Amino acid sequence: MTLRHAILAGALALAACAPRAEAPPPAKPQYGAFGFDTAGMDSAAAPGDDFFRYANGGWVDRTPIPEDRSSLNSFGVIAETAAERTRAIIEEAARTAPAGSEARKVGDYFNAFMDEARIEQLGAAPLKPELSHIAAIGDRTALARELGGALRADVDALNATNFYTDRLFGLWVAEDLNDTTKYRPYLMQGGLGLPDREYYLGAGERFKEARAAYQKHIAAMLTLAGFADADARAVRILALETAIARVHWSVDQTSDVAKANTVWTRAELPARAPGMDWDAFLSAAGLQDQDRFGAWQASAISGIARLVGAQPLEAWKDYLAFHAVERGAPRLSKAFVDEHFAFNGKTLSGTPQLRDRWKRGVDNTSGALGEAVGKLYVEKHFSPQAKAKGQEMAKNVLAAFRKRIDALDWMSPETKAEARKKLANFKVMVGYPDKWRDYSALEVKADDAYGNAERAELFDYRRNLAKLGGPVDRGEWFMNPHTVNALFAPSQNSITFPAGILEPTFFDPAADDAVNYGAIGGVIGHEVSHGFDDVGALFDSSGNLRNWWTPADMARFKAETKKLADQYSAYEPLPGLKLNGNQVLGENIADVAGLSTAYDAYRLSLAGKEAPVLDGYTADQRFFLGWAQNYRSKYREAALRRAVVTDVHAPGPYRALTVRNLDAWYPAFKVQPGQKLYLAPADRVKVW
């Protein structure tokens, strides 16, 4: 779920389908003597009382959160380096790539975004066509047509970072969960401008403050776009969104795949979700020929459709106008950009300063032409040695997981056989895709930042629609190669490790193996274990949603994972704000099982040899420190609060504490009863 993801010119632009050979990796690791940042530790902290502080306290104390970020973690540090590299690559493409080439599209997209003078000159003009369409809505059929025409493929039911869209509905085109040999279109709830339903319905003062600030923000954006009576419109829009929020599913409900796997036929839509003119909606969306739809949050989709039919037409027109302005603001003139950031950046996340324009340009270009940018990136910054080492480690982690399945004393032979079959069917993708996406149909203009973004979204939407009725692409990547993240795709039984994450601190070819296995090995184990967490365990070896467990085995599994949910529900990141153990359960199962598997894989890699002591640290100590360094992180309060409410991942400091469930951690750091993190052996969660 989690966490669900360079060029020169001419002939080189066409030949960048695989990285070029580079020099062997450096003999010295980037961090310290063995690949771990020992200077970032706090040796005064007792590992058994605060392992996060022990591993990362020095880094926390001396590393400020950049003014343009709401938080900072290992992922973010690497992402900043990747952004600088990507900028150089894009600017080179803009200067030297031949006209009409894919690389030139990358450069032109970036240059259009960076052309502030042109954007200021245009002001709010780019919004006028869409706002005119909205203003012309005269009845419910026209409203449905406008809503359908705005539909985009901008959600992913199995990627919790992409559950929601500000459009009324989102479309997810993916394998049919009951038959993964074909695609199915899934409708998902959307329509909210605040991060989650809790922001509309929560009684806490922080939520009330956020709602008041949001109403002012709505009015400010509408005023910038030239609307009269902006304050009154803002009241109506917030009231409408609050009504939408009341029918929304929560984060953990949305993660309940078995409950969400609802199928409606085309003929059933008017009865299942009355209020929407579905003929008009689907025709405008290009979905009129589809016979079956997934209704991911069925009751929410029904509830939203009822609101389409019941709420005043003028309220809907105000709502659509505001969201058109809000979506377009980052590519409009400075007044729009500043107001958009003041609310979404400062108020909601506590970020003091807007990111430099070039960084936003890199992000926007990568969002529109991700694989084209990634192709250029890996040609310059991803070596064959790194790919080979990543593949080798993944092979060892899979072998270790197989041994863990074999060793389970609570699982029946029938369920074990299915688990082995599923593991054997895993596909590992490292670095970059075998086949690159074709962007030839995407029109990019060097003087049209707003239009480029609109066309890129429509291009991606049509690319997704084109899947329907065709064969399933088992080699599709769901992340860009330069993304600093990793992914498990349950319907494909694939795990993906982009080139972007195969960098220190997660991975360094020159680092000590114990550190690499604790860091990137833990990530590999995490993604493998997602195939067997509370959601992944529901999918069989072909990726179909099918129960392959005996009732007794599933009961034992749920009992053990409940212990983990309870363990995390006890953590309190802010006074009065505890983690929801069920909301973060899947990621924590993957952390516990993944780290355990990575530890076994490291031991297997030694082939019976004794691991050396380096700089006074044993192999086990280096392994666990490598894991903890993955999750060194700092948050501004608003960002931490938002993460606890909306994210299915526990905040980084609590992910580092996964170690307390592994028996090997205790002797490695001499952790004793009475220390804060000590768990009695019976209380240590053992999943897989």
pLDDT at 325: 98
Q: Which CATH architecture has domain 51-83+368-683?
A: 3-Layer(aba) Sandwich (3.40)
Record the tokens describing residue 519, joined without a space: 């860091």
pLDDT at 1: 38
Whether 456 and 468 have beta carbons less than 8 Å apart is answered as no
SS3 label, residue 158: coil
Report which residue type is found at 515: V
Whether 36 and 621 have beta carbons less than 8 Å apart is answered as no
Record the tokens describing residue 128, joined without a space: 């006028």
Domain boundaries, the chain: 51-83+368-683, 138-330
Q: 592-627: per-residue pLDDT in tens?
A: 999 999 999 999 999 999 999 999 999 999 999 999
- DSSP bridge pairs for 431: 498
Name the one residue in this structure whose structure tokens are 């030694």: 606
- Distance (Å, whole) CA 316 – CA 312: 7
- Cα separations (Å) of 219 from 41, 134, 192, 231? 48, 18, 16, 5
Kindly give the interhelix angle for 313-328 and 205-224, rounded to the nearest 10 degrees.
Answer: 80
SS3 label, residue 651: coil
Q: What is the DSSP letter of 344?
A: I
Q: 331-344: per-residue pLDDT in tens?
A: 999 999 999 999 99
- Distance (Å, whole) CA 576 – CA 203: 13
- Distance (Å, whole) CA 453 – CA 482: 20
Please list the ranges in the chain whose pLDDT falls under 70.
1-27, 160-161
- Distance (Å, whole) CA 519 – CA 598: 9
Record the tokens describing residue 232, joined without a space: 């009154």
DSSP string, 66-122: PTT-SEEEHHHHHHHHHHHHHHHHHHHHHHHSPTTSHHHHHHHHHHHHH-HHHHHHH
Among 530, 472, 470, CA closest to 160: 530
In angstroms, how far is the first alpha carbon of the chain from the final one?
A: 18
Pick the CATH number of 138-330 from 3.40.50.300, 3.30.390.50, 1.10.1380.10, 1.25.40.10: 1.10.1380.10
pLDDT at 158: 84
pLDDT at 28: 85
- Distance (Å, whole) CA 216 – CA 321: 16
Strands (E) across 190-306 are located at 263-265, 292-295
pLDDT at 5: 33
Q: How far is CA 586 from the centre of its chain?
A: 14
- Distance (Å, whole) CA 363 – CA 331: 12
Whether 598 and 403 have beta carbons less than 8 Å apart is answered as no
Q: How far is CA 94 from the centre of its chain?
A: 29
Among 642, 568, 565, CA closest to 202: 642
Beta pairing, strands 487-489 & 292-295 = unpaired
Q: Classify 484 in phi/psi space as left (phi over 0), alpha (psi -120 to 50) or beta.
A: beta
Q: 227-250: per-residue pLDDT in tens?
A: 999 999 999 999 999 999 999 999
- Distance (Å, whole) CA 288 – CA 44: 65
Q: How far is CA 129 from the centre of its chain?
A: 32
- Distance (Å, whole) CA 665 – CA 671: 8
